[in-house]
Amino acid sequence: MDNHSIIYALITRASSTIGESFARILAMEGYNLVLVDTHIDKLQNVAQIVKKDFPLANTICISKNLEHDSDSQELYKEVQQNNLNVELLINNEEIEYFAKNEEIKNYAGKDGSYSNNKFLKHPLTILFLKEMMRKNKGKILHFVSTINRARTIYFSQHNFDKPMVFSLVEIFQHKISEKLIELNILNAQIYSIKLNASDDLDLRAD
């Protein structure tokens, strides 16, 4: 089978509740899946759940810890070597990326919280955006926390940067406005995800 002729969606932190929900939604919409996370056993469990409900979906599991920029480079290289045609990137990596990545410790404000505008510079975003621009086709979605967009005395650095996130997205969107590419943010706080049964998948605003 020529993988390059098959359209894939790549989901990071795919074994999380959010990641699994995206996997099922996208499989239902006809996407094949590249599931990425640290623990291969949890990934395989998600793959089995998806396969049970959507047997036509081709699912590939890649065990990869994306703490450092080099890990994202390795993941992108593996995708390219296997000729996987990724047209949708669900980058669900932001929370873990900021919590553990020593390389960005200098981005912390005086209150100790991290600047969150760096997520748009996440290497996966840059690598896949460049690839999508070459192909003139693709979508990127970041599932991140964008609550408390106004600056407050608590977590001031973290909150102050949140309006910048939206400004950066607008800049990216303007840059690619003439291409068939989409880059968006999904606000984690206003969505509820229900996984009570295979036929009760609900991703909607409260």
134 falls within a domain: yes
Read off the pLDDT band of 166 (50, 70, 90): low
pLDDT digits over 100-135, tens only?
A: 455 445 444 444 444 444 555 578 878 888 888 888
CATH number of residue 134's parent domain: 3.40.50.720
Residue 132's SS3 state is helix
122: left (phi over 0), alpha (psi -120 to 50) or beta: beta
Number of domains, the chain: 1
Q: Which of 132, 135, 145 is nearest to 172 (CA)?
A: 132
What pLDDT score does 186 carry? 58
Percent pLDDT > 90 in the chain is 32
**Pairing verdict, β 59-63 and 32-37:** parallel
Q: What is the mean pLDDT of residues 192-196?
A: 37
Residue 114's SS3 state is strand
174 falls within a domain: no
Verdict on whether the full-model pTM lies above 0.75: no
> Per-residue pLDDT for 192 more than 80?
no
pLDDT digits over 15-73, tens only?
A: 988 889 899 999 999 999 999 999 899 999 999 999 999 999 999 999 998 877 788 89
Read off the pLDDT band of 6 (50, 70, 90): confident
130 falls within a domain: yes
Distance CA 116, CA 94 (A): 8
156 falls within a domain: no
List strand residue ranges (DSSP E) for 102-170, in order: 138-144
* Close Cβ partners of 46 (under 8 Å, ≥ 6 residues apart): 14, 15, 19, 20, 23, 35
15 falls within a domain: yes
167 falls within a domain: no
Range of the domain at 129: 3-99+119-150+180-205
Distances (CA, A) of 97 to 59, 93, 205: 24, 6, 26
First to last CA, the chain: 42
